Amino acid sequence: MMRSTTALRFMSCYACLLRGTTYGAFKPLRNSRRIPRSLSSSTTSSTDDNKAWEQTSHTSVPRYTGPSEDEMTDEQRKIRDAIVATRKRTGMNGPFGPWLGVPAIADPAQALGRACRYGTSLSFQESELVILLTGAKTKSHAEFDIHVPEAIKAGWSMEMINAIPRDDAFSTEAVRDRLLPLLQDNERHSAIATFTTELLETFEVSDETYESTKKALDGKDSALVEITSISGYYTYVAYTLNVFRIPSNKDS
């Protein structure tokens, strides 16, 4: 009888653990790689990284989204069509609407964006690391929301994405303590994160950071031009999204 009672208690406790794991009552260790830490308070499933991210900017009410179809000049329509042609999935979502209000800005801006996004020697994954850090520092929730799915497609885990300190929590120390330990197995990623963070925090980089990043990126000064350009361009994007309160596309 005693053994039977003990067995029943064990099975009951085991069932509770299973229920806790499913519904969030069971809390894993903070460093668990199976269930990533989230910036939000909600509990998410580790089986689907795409669903682990909760957007915060998709409900923003924009101040200005650019000229309406009736207001557009022929020049603006031409630029709009060129943007849409190269961004078939997202179209004019993001900063392009406000930029289109000034064609002389919109045309070179979208060309620079295309070059920074697709014309550098950095991998897609490396570029997304720079972009997420930039969105985090500039408090651009829309930029961060838009690029989380892109970062996941590029190979980043939600654990890494959630480790990026954001808004007022962003600092060189926070990146060093929270993010860099997850990148320590890849010298390039660590160097890119360190360079980008220092640039965002101090608006320059030290000789030590410059040389160590250059060394990690095959000794190419041009790679540092690319990191600087990507971060600079997406800072401009972030400013636009922030000022005009452009929401992310919930379906992106």
Residue 79 predicted with pLDDT over 50? yes
List strand residue ranges (DSSP E) for the chain, in order.
Answer: none
Give per-residue pLDDT as tens, 110-138: 999 999 999 999 999 999 999 999 999 99
The string of pLDDT tens digits covering residues 20-38 is: 333 233 233 333 323 233 3
Burial 31-59 (b: 16+ CB within 10 A, else e): eeeebbebbeeeebeeeebeebbebbbbe
Both tokens of 7, joined, read 């067995």
Per residue in 170-191, pLDDT tens? Answer: 999 999 999 999 999 999 999 9
Is the pLDDT confidence value at 193 over 70?
yes
* For residue 16, pLDDT beyond 50: no
Is the pLDDT at 218 greater than 60, yes or no?
yes
Q: For residue 181, what pLDDT is reported?
A: 97
| pTM listed for this prediction | 0.77
What pLDDT, on a 0 to 100 scale, did the predictor assign at position 64? 96
Q: What burial class does residue 149 get, using C-beta atoms within 10 Å of its C-beta: 0-12 exposed, 13-18 middle, 19+ buried?
A: middle
For 221-233, what is the mean pLDDT?
A: 98
250 confidence band (pLDDT: 50, 70, 90) = low
